[in-house]
Amino acid sequence: MWTGLEPILRFLLAGALGAVIGFQRQMAKKPAGMRTHILISLGAALYTLVSIYAFSADMARVAAGVVAGIGFLGAGAIIRDRAGVAGLTTAASIWMVAGIGLAAGAGMYLIAVIATIVALAVLFIPHPSD
């Protein structure tokens, strides 16, 4: 059983960092926006927190499960047609936000924040068709 505010702060940090990435995607008018990215980050953090505090599960297995599940979600964001492939960056941002949520949920605050900053910087690199 957990006590104290730390698990709650980890969960809220995951949501806030997911919101940062999601806000950029929403402003870029991409299909997966702020709500999607927040929920993905919160979900990853929640699975991490429940595993740590309720089940004492092997965190490597939890992380692998989140990555596999998010892979399916990201694959659904990718669209292929005659013109090419669309949605790869959205799929990658979904995958990245899940990792950020895992890091925040595990209490790795600094790496979660740095990963968010780096991901945001990458998302601001202009796309060749823009």
Q: How many CB atoms lie within 10 A of CB 111?
A: 13
Q: Does residue 1 lie in a domain region?
A: no
pLDDT, averaged across the chain? 90
**Half-sphere CA count of 99, side-chain side, radius 13 A:** 15
The alpha helices in 29-58, defined as continuous H runs, are: 34-50
Residue 116: what pLDDT? Answer: 98
Q: Does residue 52 lie in a domain region?
A: yes
Q: Does residue 109 lie in a domain region?
A: yes
Q: Does residue 129 lie in a domain region?
A: no
Instruction: Reply yes or no on whether the pLDDT at 129 is more than 70.
Output: no
The dihedral over CA atoms of 102, 106, 107, 113, expressed in degrees to the nearest 10, equals -20
Q: Does residue 90 lie in a domain region?
A: yes
Query: Mind listing the pLDDT tens digit for each residue in 74-111?
Result: 877 777 777 777 788 899 999 999 999 999 999 999 99
How many angstroms separate the CA atoms of 17 and 92, rounded?
15
User: How many structural domains does the chain have?
Assistant: 1
Q: Does residue 77 lie in a domain region?
A: yes
Write out the residue range of the structural domain in which residue 20 sits.
6-123
